[in-house]
Amino acid sequence: MPDDRELAETHASTGLLGDWVPGTAAMDELVVSRQSESLDSDDILVKKPLGFLFWFALSWVGLVVLLAVIADLLPLANPNFQNYSAINARPSFHHLLGTDDLGRDLLSRVIYGSRVSLIVGFAAVTIGMLVGGTLGLISGYKGGRMDTWLNAGAFVLLAFPAIVAVIAIVAFWGHSLYKITIILSVAVIPLLYRVVRASSLSFANRDFVIAARTMGATSTRIVFREILPNVIPAAAAFGLITVAGVIVVEGTLAFLGLSVALPTPSWGNIISEGATNGNLQVNPFIMLWPVLAMFLLLLSINLIGDRLRQRFDVREGLL
Amino acid sequence: MTARRQAKRGRGTLEFADVGHADDGPLLKVEDLHTWFRTSRGTVKAVDGVSLSVDQGQTLGIVGESGSGKTVLSRSIMGLLPVRDVVRSGTVHFAGHELTAMKPDQLRQVWGAELSMIFQDPMTALNPVKRIGRQVTESLRLHLDIDRAEATAMAIELFRSVGIPSPEQRVRWYPFQLSGGMRQRVMIAIALACAPRLVMADEPTTGLDVTVQAQILDLLGELQRERHMAVILVTHDLGVVASRADEIVVMYAGRIVEQAPTRTLFSDTRMPYTRALMDSIPRLADPSGVRLHAIAGRPPDMIHPPRGCRFAPRCPYVQDKCREIEPPLRTAGSPDHLFACWFPLVNGVSTAPMESAGAGAPPTTPATSARAPIPFGDTAINPDAEVQSP
């Protein structure tokens, strides 16, 4: 029965009935299930299953994060230990993913390397969201001169080719983990600001906001209690997709040798090593594993972001 | 703990009573309120000199078609309009406060607690992502300083009083799970949560079907009697206010064109516009197929309102004078019946000279004497014996 309801829901929302014939047993069942006034609110919420892909994506992200966190507890080889008796070894029981041209264990390097990507990706977006998101919320609700100036500022920053600016700053300022994080968070602030502001603006003059005002709510209360909960789904979805973007940029920097210094592994610099010194011909696994891990991570993050947005999309036409 | 809270609440009521004492006049007194919007096309005079008053426990109906300025009027009275590009002048006295002179944070003390609003569209006036119980308890906790459990108990009680079945479960529901009528009940519960003295209901039933409309209006009336609050009922439907308002104000193009106690307004309509509004209500007794009465034309452009009477271009009894000089709001007979018309209706018949009779028709009604020279300006007096200047 849940499937029928889901199907009916889809048809109702798209307005297409397809081969659906009103009055079929399934439809009657749906009508009955709607009419029988169950008071359990969860029962009335017609939940669409998130699907196998979503759970696969979530498990992959979960696995990557978990491994990165507990890497020190795992029986992994030292990612920087060079075993000269096992250079360019193929995957085996001793080295599950093989070794690179210096005899370092690739599984260990890929897992430790994920730390850099994850920290930079999530930390930069969190900082960016705190700053850009807060500014966007307030500026979208308040409007006026502050909004005009912030918006103009965001446009100026967006007009800069971000990657070039980031490379220039990294080249001058240095490239430790926290500096990379700060620089990338600054780079995503205007993006997140714009998205949150647009969303906030679309709620700023809605009746429920005016209604909250007539009940004596302060601006702070309106922004954080009335508008923020409405903005969160869109912001979270976009934030996740931005995480994916930041991971790519960090990878690019690492590939160019501008991220964390060697020999500390990061996906970007493992890929870079795999591509140099003719390694790609001799041992394609060096490049394959980090590329595969990153590809799946980005795909998963995007998929989760998208599903969450669909899931929490407030469907006012649901009646 | 409870004692402390009760003391707090008690103090709140005391302040309330004090304010009431300090102000013996009407609860709400609006004088010469103008609300103009500056736009790139020019200044829109949405509300142009409106005065009215509402007593405690009374219902005032504000009636007019779309674009007559009734919604702007209600928002302007509350002080809800943005500051930028809005010109507001006149005074709004409410329960001892001068609302037009209050700062935003002072207004916030009044809003919700003493003056609240029921919105037109319950579909959009509730926050879609918050449980309806939360939406009620937030304002309760804001104004009454009570804890969460107490506020929830009050919310359940409020939901029960507005006729929401099984309120204990429903406080945990989201707006989209409710029907339009139920949502409007929630809106009413929110508006009445802190026992305001005046509720502005801006077309509270427009989005609902007719049977639900009646239920909601009856509910509102019931709660009003119980709590002895004043209600301003803004609507485009004379039928809605006919049985529920004590007094009715008819607005046209930003001005009051007729104002009278409900009974008087219906029995002794003076303004042709009010008459036209009444005639446009479909009648059950009419045989099917009868054309509905519509008022020809559209409300005037509020950037350049017509000279003279603003209804003149659409008025079936229009005279030259109507196009030249704007009629003042004046009384005739009973002092609480105001209207703005040079040739008011008497017993449903216009006092204007018959147009079809042509210009040379002999004067047949007393109002034709109004064609005699009259003093200009605000003191313009129609020498019609039965009509006196206010």
pLDDT band at B60, cuts 50/70/90?
very high
What percentage of residues in chain B have a pLDDT greater than 70? Answer: 84
| The predicted structure's pLDDT at residue B59 | 92
pLDDT tens, residue by residue, A228-264: 988 888 888 888 888 888 888 888 888 887 877 777 8
Q: What are phi and psi of A160, to 5 degrees?
A: -70, 135
Mean per-residue pLDDT over chain B, rounded: 79
Please name the residue of chain B whose CA is at the shortest distance from the CA of residue A319: B176
**Sequence-separated (6 or more) residues with CB below 8 Å from residue B114:** B16, B94, B95, B196, B197, B198
- The residue among B338, B274, B336 whose CA lies nearest residue B55 is B336
| The predicted structure's pLDDT at residue B303 | 85
Question: Quick check: A305 and A237 in contact, CB under 8 A?
Answer: yes
Q: Compute the nearest-CA separation of A246 from chain B (Å).
A: 30
Q: Is B202 helix (H, G, I), strand (E, B) or coil?
A: strand
Size of interface A-B (CB pairs under 8 A): 90
| The predicted structure's pLDDT at residue A124 | 92
Residues of B whose CB is below 8 A from A144: 84
β-strands B349-350, B345-346: how paired? antiparallel
pLDDT band at A138, cuts 50/70/90?
very high
Q: How far is B33 from B157, CA to CA, in rounded Å?
A: 38
| The predicted structure's pLDDT at residue B356 | 46
Q: CB of A308 within 8 Å of any CB in chain B?
A: no
Which 3-state string (H, E, C) describes B94-148? ECCEEHHHCCHHHHHHHECCCEEEECCCCCCCCCCCCCHHHHHHHHHHHHHCCCH
Backbone torsion region of residue B97, taken as left when φ is above 0, otherwise alpha when ψ lies between -120 and 50, otherwise beta: beta
CATH 3.40.50.300 intervals, chain B:
2-251
pLDDT band at A180, cuts 50/70/90?
confident
Q: CB of A318 within 8 Å of any CB in chain B?
A: yes
Residues of B whose CB is below 8 A from A229: 127, 129-130
Q: CB of A73 within 8 Å of any CB in chain B?
A: no
pLDDT tens, residue by residue, B22-43: 446 788 999 899 999 998 888 8
Alpha carbon distances (Å) from B79 to A25, B38, B88, B160: 55, 17, 9, 31
pLDDT tens, residue by residue, B178-192: 888 888 889 888 888
| The predicted structure's pLDDT at residue A47 | 58
- The residue among A223, A39, A20 whose CA lies nearest residue B165 is A39
Question: Is the predicted pLDDT of residue A21 greater than 60, yes or no?
Answer: no
Residues of B whose CB is below 8 A from A220: none
**Sequence-separated (6 or more) residues with CB below 8 Å from residue A109:** A79, A100, A265, A270
Please name the residue of chain B whose CA is at the shortest distance from the CA of residue A317: B176
Q: Identify the helix (H) or strand (E) that includes residue B23.
A: none
* Sheet with B230-235: strands ordered across: B115-118, B198-202, B230-235, B59-63, B247-252, B255-261, B334-339, B330-332, B387-388
Count CB atoms within 10 A of the CB of residue A306. 15
Q: For chain B, positions 175-194, list CB contacts with chain A under 8 A.
A: 176-177, 179-180, 187, 190-191, 193-194
Pick the CATH number of A57-318 from 3.40.228.10, 1.10.3720.10, 3.40.430.10, 3.40.50.300: 1.10.3720.10
pLDDT band at B248, cuts 50/70/90?
very high
Pick the CATH number of B2-251 from 3.40.50.300, 3.40.50.11720, 3.30.360.10, 3.20.20.70: 3.40.50.300
Backbone torsion region of residue A129, taken as left when φ is above 0, otherwise alpha when ψ lies between -120 and 50, otherwise beta: alpha
- The residue among A103, A53, A57, A96 whose CA lies nearest residue A80 is A103
pLDDT tens, residue by residue, A265-289: 888 888 888 777 777 777 788 888 8
Q: Compute the nearest-CA separation of B184 from chain A (Å).
A: 13
Contact A215 B116 (CB under 8 A): yes
Q: How far is A268 from A251, CA to CA, in rounded Å?
A: 4
**Sequence-separated (6 or more) residues with CB below 8 Å from residue A195:** A136, A234, A235, A238
- The residue among B224, B227, B245 whose CA lies nearest residue B235 is B245
Please name the residue of chain A whose CA is at the shortest distance from the CA of residue B190: A215
| The predicted structure's pLDDT at residue A229 | 87
Q: Which of A28-42, A133-147, B164-178, B349-363 has the lowest mean pLDDT?
A: A28-42
β-strands B198-202, B230-235: how paired? parallel
pLDDT band at B364, cuts 50/70/90?
very low
Q: CB of B130 within 8 Å of any CB in chain A?
A: yes
H helices of chain B, in order, are: 2-22, 70-78, 104-110, 132-144, 148-161, 167-170, 180-192, 210-227, 238-242, 262-267, 272-279, 320-324
* Exposed/middle/buried for residue B291 (C-beta within 10 Å: 0-12, 13-18, 19+): exposed
Mean per-residue pLDDT over chain A, rounded: 78
- Residue B40: both structure tokens together: 């790139």
pLDDT tens, residue by residue, A188-234: 999 899 989 988 888 888 888 888 888 888 888 888 888 898 888 88
- Residue B116: both structure tokens together: 């609240």
pLDDT tens, residue by residue, B98-134: 888 888 888 888 888 888 888 888 778 888 888 898 8
| The predicted structure's pLDDT at residue A128 | 92
Question: Is the predicted pLDDT of residue B358 greater than 50, yes or no?
Answer: no
- The residue among B236, B276, B296, B291 whose CA lies nearest residue B62 is B236
Contact B177 A41 (CB under 8 A): yes
| CA A166 to the chain's CA centroid | 20
Q: Compute the nearest-CA separation of A138 from chain B (Å).
A: 16
**Taking the domains of chain A in order of start, what are their residue ranges?**
2-44, 57-318
Q: CB of B143 within 8 Å of any CB in chain A?
A: yes
pLDDT band at B373, cuts 50/70/90?
very low
- The residue among B324, B322, B379, B347 whose CA lies nearest residue B270 is B347
